[in-house]
Structure 1
């Protein structure tokens, strides 16, 4: 585990009674990072940033019996700057400072490894970053907010229109742009509506295109499928909308439910990616959800409760892992997911649901909001590309 990662530990002390005590050796100069609960035989350990030892031993004792576990600790890898992006924004000083103006808000890569960045208005462009780091303008779109490549080398773009409506554009390799579909304006009183182009509505759309060419989008409380003729249907999920009207029964939140198609429920789906088999993976607030091509929704990793309120991202397998909320996510050729943690951690989730922290202290902004990470790309084995507003950088995760 790298410095800054967190794990939870439950001791095995069968048949032992009496108070439970914990210890950790060695300790770092910044103090104790072993957290315990008096009402629960569980502890959490977060490796301090200044820990120089490569191993720590954590011991639980009760009734004269002790049990220990040894954890391997290593320094977090450091991102290497790759490409400096055009400055299309301005830092506006406040508490905290924030950016105004156009920003790169999403990215997608083609089969050759070229990266495409969606720049918000007033720039309103899709910029292409080649493998050599050169930047060119690929196409111009009104208000691009989400990108995904299809197997036909066509770039799909969500274009936000006025009046709470969206269009999905198709941009060919030569930059030619066509419209796949367009939604009618969204109305919170009626929620999302399935139907043909210009009749269907959407709250917000984040795209993924499967190897089969099927187009999907996470949207509010569900995942939508967009047919070749532009018609919208609900592929999985349902119930409460993300745009909760005042007085709605959903105002207190949504309960996740695994199931088939519209029987499933999501907490708040956001980033969505697809693997080579056409399975979808959705960042669903505190969970990672998997959706098969048949629409079966399961929870790959994560849980809705925390043992320690101040530890949002905890490593573990399946329901033992926890995630701090929605954030950028990417998938590599082996089906491993990479997700940004709530405090700058880069998490890796294997196809079997094992979540581990591979890097820490990424994207901290402070007085420099341009350093915030907005997108990830995991094309080259063992390397993740981090996209901030100011630059692209690469970090090794093998």
Structure 2
């Protein structure tokens, strides 16, 4: 063990004792884990007589230092210490608050989180709907979606028209658009599936957030998408009309029966009204269920199975509920002799279902 040697008294020596405050009476140095050592190195600014000056320039204006070349110093805890002197105003730029001495204008066009329900938008409603409508047309009128859809619709309509003409035994005049009334429920089922998938695809691919950043109003966004699907349904109706007229004319000329246009105007109007109604029903199913499998299963199951079962069950009690069911009402709209009741029922069902789906979409925070 090294012998201890008494040192000369330091500046902090206690009178009557040899050495300083960290020395024992006999001059030996105090040791132990609790003994505070004297800091070595240059004295601190306060020890040299310096007093921290108040901030100047950008610091006094509250704008903070320049971003370029900003340096930080490590503190004693191992982290990063802010070089700004104490008492400096906080930088308000990140908080979105007005800076001292600046004219501040509140920004109302900055979008907030898409998870929030409807946000404020100063634009007119028709402008917002038109913007969503144009955005939807870009997706619906893509060649890889449009031409296969119209081609399959034309093929199905031609098959129905040719089969109707082949099974006909009357040599009299042929109704030019008669097969269109038979093909409308089948094509309408396809249109319902397309509309349901158009809404469910936004959930599946997670693109609702991107659309809501540009168009914060959810009601206007859903209405614009429905308008785009309605236009697509009108194109489908025009394809059905043209294919049915061409096929019926060719088959009638082959069998020697002249076609007639007596019921063509009424059939055309019913076809143009039924296809958008099918699109509305499919859109409501997709907007409510969010899943493509669930929406398509519900659409097909309700139209093909559930309504037939309910109609048969009600017939045992002597009730005729077929005109009051949604899919049956749209089917009757395209084929019933009197379109008044089917038109009212279809309008009521479409309004109720799509309004409910839009309200659910508007009030649901998570997408």
Report the TM-score when normalising by structure 2.
0.23
Q: Which has the higher helix share?
A: 2
Q: Relative CO higher for 1 or 2, CA cutoff 8 Å, sep ≥ 6?
A: 2
Q: Which has the larger radius of gyration?
A: 2
Q: Which has the higher strand share?
A: 1
